[in-house]
Amino acid sequence: MDREGVGGFLESILAVMVVITASSVFLVVLASGTMQVKESIDQEELISWLEDNGLYSENGAISVQGTMAPSMEALPEGTAGMTVLYRRSGNSTPLLVLEQGASPQGDVLAFQQPLLLEVEGRFVPGVMEVRAWR
């Protein structure tokens, strides 16, 4: 810099290079984080799998007690684990909990679906809570 505090050509080039280098490092850090993310589980595909396996019905009732209670024998393709919980609407106490697979290690897809439950021979409104992970 000269006596007036005004930088010359070389100082301005150096400042631009520092800004470009810092922004490049920042972008590399962002890009490396996105490359490690696994593909997320599609909720619609999971609901379809639950319907196909008798764990969810949009039009019928799911019996959660006795010999007609649903069970989870396998997992959807590409899923490492899943928990399905059935409870009455407005009640936090679970009526039935189905778990399969290892504990979650990363991102978990969690959602709730309203459904009709058969409990002790009566049909009551209920909620199905699903948690699935890869």
Going by C-alpha positions, the residue among 115, 52, 118, 54 that lies closest to residue 89 is: 115
Q: What is the pTM of this model?
A: 0.67
What 3-state class would DSSP assign to 122?
strand
Q: What is the DSSP letter of 55?
A: S
pLDDT computed for residue 124 by the predictor: 94
Which regions in the chain score pLDDT beneath 70?
1-7, 31-39, 66-67
Give pLDDT, residue 37: 47
* Beta-carbon contacts of residue 18 (< 8 Å; ≥ 6 apart): none
What does the pLDDT look like over 26-39, one tens digit per residue?
Answer: 878 776 655 444 56
- pLDDT for 117 equals 94
Task: For residue 111, give the amino acid letter.
Answer: F
Predicted local confidence at residue 3, as pLDDT: 65
Shortest CA distance to 115 belongs to which of 76, 57, 28, 65?
57
User: How do the domains of the chain map onto residue ranges?
Assistant: 1-37, 43-133
